[in-house]
Amino acid sequence: MSRHDVSLTVNGEQVTGQVEARLLLVHFLRENLSLTGTHIGCDTTSCGACTVLLDGEPVKSCTVFAVQAQGARVETIEGVAQDGQLHPLQEGFWEKHGLQCGYCTPGMIMTAKAFLASDPDPSEEAIRRAISGNLCRCTGYNKIVEAVQYAARKLSQQSSEKEEATA
Ligand code: FES
Ligand code: FES
């Protein structure tokens, strides 16, 4: 099996490795980098538990080879909190009880993060559509939707405060 050098940024840090061509990105993250916050629920692109951001776009990392991430910027759940502060999405899941077993949560949060970057003031229907590729076996989704709504409000409040501070 041929091996390839890969070099990419993961959560802002440059990482390099030599990987088999068939190694999936999710295994590279979990096994080579010990970033086990990205979960594997199905391995067949069905559940979304393995969702990470690749150059800002949500991808199911069980469907991407590590070599395909060469030169890319990858963000995982471990990079979402900043300076010891929970991201508004993490806070929203906590406040609105958006999780039970938590297995789907990292993937949900990564999907929602990319979604809110493109639609900062979403309708409930748009949120439901955005997370439709992420399966949750526990919550019935309503609490997850509320968590994303909480995050949208908080992010908008934070951006108004930043604008006022720089005005
Ligand atoms: S583990 Fe990747 S979609 Fe389920
Ligand atoms: S909280 Fe258990 S699968 Fe979503």
Determine if ligand 2 sits within 6 Å of the CB of residue 56. Answer: no
pLDDT of amino acid 43: 83
What's the whole-number average pLDDT of the chain?
97
Q: What is the arithmetic mean of pLDDT over 142-167? A: 95
In this structure, the residue with its CA closest to atom 4 of ligand 2 is 136
Name the strand (E) or helix (H) holding 7: strand 3-10
Q: Do 30 and 19 touch, CB atoms closer than 8 A?
A: no
Determine if ligand 1 sits within 6 Å of the CB of residue 47. Answer: yes
Alpha-helical runs (H) found in the chain: 25-27, 88-95, 105-118, 124-130, 142-166
The ligand minimizing its distance to the Cα of 99 is: 2
Q: 104-148: per-residue pLDDT in tens?
A: 999 999 999 999 999 999 999 999 999 999 999 999 999 999 999
For residue 89, CA distances in Å to 72, 107, 153, 157, 160 come to 24, 12, 10, 13, 17
pLDDT of amino acid 116: 98
In this structure, the residue with its CA closest to atom 3 of ligand 1 is 45
pLDDT band at 166 (very low <50, low <70, confident <90, very high): confident
pLDDT of amino acid 167: 79
Determine if ligand 2 sits within 6 Å of the CB of residue 103. Answer: yes
Is 2's pLDDT higher than 90?
no
